[in-house]
């Protein structure tokens, strides 16, 4: 069983998916973390030639696990969970995620993983390209202003120098890259249930989605 949530950066997909996974006792799969892991490996290798890097990538043993509200990622036994969240990785991940070789590696990993058990996964192209036959598809959205404001408040807890203007600029550029890339751009699937979280509390959006899940799947 696979439930997918697609949507733009900052729409609250992963925190919502984690909470739903905990409430329903299912697994959480973070596809962005897999693109981040590949990006980390490329940077760690000293930004090697892309053709050579992608040729060797299938030899890497990726392992993932969701527990304690955290999506853990390992590559060849090295724990990358924290390293994939750095600004350095964030600055390069859009480029790496735009390569079809990166997309086929991540997609193969995810399709193999979900063959057993129940999962809720979040990303950009899960309902359109990766799991077109998903049991249920959501598309989460919120206005740019609201997404920027949420991210700004979150980031300000650890970095007082961050400005709302910069956060909005960064999100606008990520939206543009995610929606305009040639390979599997961010797009709402025709059969996705749209959840617009503008003006909604976190608890409201989670409850609304759990109700939809209970109505449309065998989960309860």
Please report, as ranges, the residues that interact with ligand DC according to CB under 6 A: 9, 31-32, 35-36, 93-94, 97, 123-126, 178
* Of 88 and 214, CB closest to ligand DC: 88
Spatial distance between the Cα atoms of 98 and 118, rounded to a whole number of angstroms: 28
Q: Please, what is the minimum distance in Å from the beta carbon of residue 171 to ligand DC?
A: 10
Shortest Cβ 164–ligand DC spacing (Å): 19
Residue 194, Ramachandran bin (φ over 0: left; ψ between -120 and 50: alpha; else beta): beta
Residue 214 CB, nearest approach to ligand DC (Å): 25
Shorter beta-carbon distance to ligand DC: residue 26 or 96: 96
Minimum distance, C-beta of residue 94 to ligand DC, in the bound complex (Å):
4
Closer of 30 and 206 to ligand DC (Cβ): 30
Q: Which is nearer to ligand DC, 4 or 214 (CB)?
A: 4
Q: Tell me the helix, strand and coil percentages in the chain, rounded to 5.
A: 50, 15, 30
User: Which candidate, 218, 216, 194, 220, places its Cα nearest to that of 205?
Assistant: 194
Q: Could you tell me the CA-to-CA distances from 102 to 93, 95, 109, 197 in Å, in that order?
A: 11, 10, 11, 30
Asked whether the beta carbons of 73 and 80 are under 8 A apart, the reply is: yes
């Amino acid at each position: 069983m696979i439930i997918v949530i697609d949507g733009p950066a900052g729409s609250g997909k992963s925190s919502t998916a984690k909470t739903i996974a905990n409430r329903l006792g299912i697994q959480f799969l973070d596809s962005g973390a897999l693109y981040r892991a590949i990006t980390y490996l490329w940077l760690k290798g000293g930004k090697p030639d892309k053709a050579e890097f992608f040729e060797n990538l299938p030899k890497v043993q990726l392992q993932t696990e969701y527990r304690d509200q955290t999506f853990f990622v390992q590559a060849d036994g090295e724990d990358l969970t924290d390293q994939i969240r750095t600004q350095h990785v964030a600055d390069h991940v859009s480029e790496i995620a735009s390569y079809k070789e990166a997309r086929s590696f991540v997609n193969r990993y995810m399709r193999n993983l979900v063959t057993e058990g129940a999962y809720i996964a979040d990303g950009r192209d899960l309902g359109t390209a990766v799991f077109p036959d998903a049991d249920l598809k959501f598309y989460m959205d919120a206005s740019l202003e609201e997404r920027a404001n949420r991210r700004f408040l979150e980031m300000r807890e650890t970095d007082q120098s961050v400005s709302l203007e910069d956060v909005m600029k960064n999100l606008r550029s990520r939206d543009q890259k995610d929606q305009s890339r040639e390979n599997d751009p961010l797009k709402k699937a025709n059969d996705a249930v749209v959840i617009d979280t503008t003006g909604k509390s976190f608890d409201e959006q989670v409850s609304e989605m759990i109700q939809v899940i209970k109505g449309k799947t065998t989960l309860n």
